[in-house]
Structure 1
Amino acid sequence: MNETGLSEEKIRNILNDSKSQDLKYERVLSSMCTYPHRVAVEAHMQFIESNMGDFGLFKGTSNLEKEVLSMLSNLLHHPGASGYMTTGGTESNIQAIRSMRNLFIQKSKCEKPNLVVPDSAHFSFDKVSDILDVELRKASLEDDLKVSIDSVKSLIDENTIGLVAIAGSTEFGQVDPIARLSEIALENNIFLHIDAAFGGFVLPFLEMSCEFDFILPGVTSIAIDPHKMGMSTIPSGVLLFRTNEHLESLKAETPYLTVSTQYTLTGTRSGAAVAATYAVMSFLGKEGYREKVSGCMELTHYLMDRLAGINVYPLLKPVMNVVALKVSKPDLVRSRLAKEFNWQVSITQKPHGLRLVIMPHVTFEMIDSFVKDLEKVLQTI
């Protein structure tokens, strides 16, 4: 820090230069985030100083959070579900499993609790294991890259606190057989957390119905991220519990604040993200989200048709707007696309392929340009 401050003009120049070095979403086909909706941005700026860590000072913002939770509770088929807004899927997953662990330990003597997750689970669950000292047991996948029910069953024992299912896996966009996992959770009297961080704002708005939420009686918690397909600002996540007992298991006393207890992982929380999420969900409504998802799926199908024209095909049929492609030497292809054409794509690990996410910022022209550049790269490999 300098002894004397810089001028506003100098700071603006530095910021503009730094911003110019960021990759624009128009060249990004790897991210599960996108440009936030303009009404979300406006609301975010209006509430920029609101701190939900001491929400007694910001009662209006707190009421907006309650409205967000109500809207999502209804969308996910359990009006009145308990929860709060998080920074995103990682925090939601940590808190969901922390609740599982706390409630399980209260009711059962257990030296080393374990958690059964699909091998396709997000890396945040490795963080969960480390932070909470919970053994992570990874169930194998079927050929369709959904978790194997037999593998899940084989990993459950008396120290298993719960199961995790994925509704829109990060690599492939696949949805685990959640209805069957719900039955298994009930049969074994254990919890079932759904990581719908991405799929939560896609699956309810697809033409094809998919049961993944509280409509299934074994589901005890859900993570869903408005800052992904919900088009809110970052950081906007939501964690919902079927019963208030789960939320209460996370309670901490906060004697020096205007409220006496917190249930959150972070202390300070963004009220701006709360307002942004309320604004965009209220503005778009179900009809608006159906249009957004329909548009992304139309582009996904268009991409598949264009790729077939250059003999590139998906590793499996896309369920949502996440596509994994079968290409030779995907690491090299990814590197060449970035270096020669400034495209940002990602790769899948098992099986190895090229991964694309078709978000609302993607256009037909963007896909045409990408396919043309991909063809050039593949012709030289």
Structure 2
Amino acid sequence: MSTNPEFTQINPLFARPGEDSRAPRHTLAAGPMGPETAYQIIHDEIMLDGNSRLNLATFVGTWMDDYARRLYAESFDKNMIDKDEYPQTAAIEDYCWHIIADLWHAPEPRATIGTSTIGSSEACMLGGLAFKRRWQQSRRAAGLPTDKPNLVMSSAVQVCWEKFCNYWEVEARLVPVTDEHPCLDGHDLAAYVDENTIGVVAIMGVTYTGIYEPVQEIAAALDAIQAATGLDVPIHVDAASGGMVAPFLQPELIWDFKLERVHSISTSAHKYGLVYPGLGWVVWRSRDLMPEELVFNVSYLGGDMPTLALNFSRPGAQVLLQYFLFLRLGFEGYRLVQQTSQNVALFLSSAIAEHGAFTLISDGSDIPVFAWSLKAGHTDKWNLYHLSDRLRARGWLVPAYPMPDNLSDQTVQRIVVRNGLSLDLASRLLTAITEETAYLDRLEGAMPAEKHHPGFTH
């Protein structure tokens, strides 16, 4: 091959050195390649990914407007932890969580405490840690042991809570979901709560079905337990999805800091907060509910600054994107965006409900997420995993997965409607579901049972 510089300059695209051979995958190449060549190789490889707009498995946002993308590009280099170097980015972080504290009816939004995080998983970890540390402090003050903490939650919680319990040695007490109680609703809660319970997790938007757990009913059950036993058990609301939906679409619903027993709330900004991944928020009802020993001060970045997140260096760009959206949309803008997503969800779920092959499990009237199962007795030749595979072949990612615990013999399929799935595009999805179901119904023999794709992403 010629190494003449003039040949390199005129060599057509895809025939340049580096593009006319296989790129190294597991070791560094001996020498460099041109930036345009490296770009083209990776650009071409990620064409093999799915179209993110058609990924209806994930809750994570896949679309922002041109102004947001411009702001994103201007702030790639900002490190959220370096508040002395980037004081205005730090100030904007404070603006955001104070806005969220006000949205969630904190008694004194300007006097409480909160932080941005890398997604709501980190936010949940911080809420759980605050629970554990305050429980330990109370037990030590009373001269009681602190070696057996437990956390009560539905078996349908997101995996981050199982991780929290594993990492920080807390017993996970999972209340099974059943046909009669498809989420944690306060039923039989006294059988799971005891003196070692550090808190209860309530979910505003169950991952499997999209339904809200009734936080007010859970709080009432804990009130009754306290009246009977003296145990004062707090609630953390995992509002990864619902925290940025309920204030706009269900303002009459009581689930947030209006309930005194709710100590902390977390949400995913990169879900219905409408920001690119990854950003989350956690806010406490009042400053005293975040133990001071979990807040650290560092002075080696140029100034003395507090930090209470688990991660240290992390992007500041997404925080700026959140504030951009708060300014850009305001309350009414958010309400309109979320209402549009819910309208699309209700359009799709009503069509699924009318389809003879399916039974609707949830309809998207909480967060814009709904699920369905295959109607009993409809067919013995195919299942929802086969339908999921057929839709995947057309570019749509619509996951099928088993429900947890007592409902594990039930397979469901779920659609997450996000900003960017228009009603027109949703009608094309409905056509695909109808056509692929008809194809499967025409089969003369059973589809093979095989290992299917992972159920879904959070």
TM over 0.5: yes
Residue in 2 aligned with 1:361? 420
Task: Provide the rounded CA distance (Å) in 2 between the counterparts of 1:152 and 1:62.
Answer: 41
Residue in 1 aligned with 2:152? 116
Task: Provide the rounded CA distance (Å) in 2 between the counterparts of 1:107 and 1:207.
Answer: 36
Residue in 2 aligned with 1:206? 249
Which residue of the other structure, out of 5, 23, 29, is the alignment partner of 2:50?
23
Task: Provide the rounded CA distance (Å) in 2 between the counterparts of 1:148 and 1:139.
Answer: 10
Matched, 1:250 2:286: no
Q: So what's the TM-score if we normalise by structure 1?
A: 0.94
Note if contact 1:116-1:156 (Cα within 8 Å) is conserved in structure 2.
yes
Flag the structure with higher helix content: 1
Give the deviation of 1:245 after TM superposition: 2.8
> What RMSD over aligned residues (CA atoms) do the two structures have, in Å?
1.9
Amino acid in structure 1 at the alignment position of 2:195: E
More displaced 10-residue stretch of structure 1: 89-98 or 344-353: 344-353
CA 1:293–1:261: 2 relative to 1, 3 Å: closer
Give the deviation of 1:313 after TM superposition: 3.7
Which residue of the other structure, out of 79, 93, 97, is the alignment partner of 1:69?
97
Matched, 1:220 2:263: yes
3-state secondary structure, aligned to 1:55: coil
Residue in 1 aligned with 2:194? 157
Give the deviation of 1:251 after TM superposition: 1.9
Give the deviation of 1:271 after TM superposition: 1.0
Task: Provide the rounded CA distance (Å) in 2 between the counterparts of 1:203 and 1:249.
Answer: 33
Task: Provide the rounded CA distance (Å) in 1 between the counterparts of 2:354 and 2:198.
Answer: 49
Note if contact 1:40-1:277 (Cα within 8 Å) is conserved in structure 2.
no
Amino acid in structure 2 at the alignment position of 1:227: H
Give the deviation of 1:212 after TM superposition: 1.4
Give the deviation of 1:166 after TM superposition: 0.3
Task: Provide the rounded CA distance (Å) in 1 between the counterparts of 2:360 and 2:170.
Answer: 36
| Aligned length, in residue pairs | 380
Residue in 2 aligned with 1:171? 208
Output aligned runs, 1:13-52, within 5 Å: 13-38=40-65, 39-52=67-80
Q: Which has the higher contact order (CA 8 A, sep 6+)?
A: 1
Matched, 1:371 2:418: no
Output aligned runs, 1:153-302, within 5 Å: 153-185=190-222, 187=226, 188-206=231-249, 209-247=252-290, 248-257=292-301, 258-302=303-347
Note if contact 2:132-2:198 (Cα within 8 Å) is conserved in structure 1.
yes
Structure 2 residues without counterparts, runs of 5 or longer: 1-27, 140-144, 376-382, 404-409, 442-458
Bigger CA radius of gyration: 2
Residue in 1 aligned with 2:6? none
CA 1:172–1:88: 2 relative to 1, 3 Å: same
Task: Provide the rounded CA distance (Å) in 1 between the counterparts of 2:97 and 2:43.
Answer: 36
Which residue of the other structure, out of 374, 379, 382, is the alignment partner of 1:327?
374
Give the deviation of 1:260 after TM superposition: 4.8
Note if contact 1:26-1:366 (Cα within 8 Å) is conserved in structure 2.
no
3-state secondary structure, aligned to 1:316: strand
More displaced 10-residue stretch of structure 1: 283-292 or 358-367: 358-367
Give the deviation of 1:348 after TM superposition: 4.2
Note if contact 2:345-2:363 (Cα within 8 Å) is conserved in structure 1.
no
Structure 1 residues without counterparts, runs of 5 or longer: none
Task: Provide the rounded CA distance (Å) in 2 between the counterparts of 1:300 and 1:51.
Answer: 37
Residue in 2 aligned with 1:305? 350
Amino acid in structure 1 at the alignment position of 2:300: Y
3-state secondary structure, aligned to 2:235: strand
Give the deviation of 1:297 after TM superposition: 1.4
Note if contact 1:41-1:233 (Cα within 8 Å) is conserved in structure 2.
no
Output aligned runs, 1:80-119, within 5 Å: 80=110, 81-108=112-139, 109-119=145-155
More displaced 10-residue stretch of structure 1: 117-126 or 19-28: 19-28
Residue in 1 aligned with 2:24? none
Amino acid in structure 2 at the alignment position of 1:377: E
Output aligned runs, 1:122-161, within 5 Å: 122-141=158-177, 143=180, 145-161=182-198
Give the deviation of 1:324 after TM superposition: 0.4
Amino acid in structure 2 at the alignment position of 1:316: S
Task: Provide the rounded CA distance (Å) in 1 between the counterparts of 2:315 and 2:222.
Answer: 34
Show CA shifts across 1:221-249 (max 9, x none). Answer: 00111111111121110011112234324
More displaced 10-residue stretch of structure 1: 329-338 or 121-130: 329-338
Q: So what's the TM-score if we normalise by structure 2?
A: 0.78
Note if contact 2:53-2:63 (Cα within 8 Å) is conserved in structure 1.
no
More displaced 10-residue stretch of structure 1: 329-338 or 75-84: 329-338
Task: Provide the rounded CA distance (Å) in 2 between the counterparts of 1:148 and 1:141.
Answer: 10
Matched, 1:11 2:12: no
Amino acid in structure 1 at the alignment position of 2:296: A
Residue in 2 aligned with 1:352? 411
Note if contact 1:179-1:212 (Cα within 8 Å) is conserved in structure 2.
yes
3-state secondary structure, aligned to 1:216: coil
3-state secondary structure, aligned to 2:362: coil
Note if contact 1:306-1:368 (Cα within 8 Å) is conserved in structure 2.
no
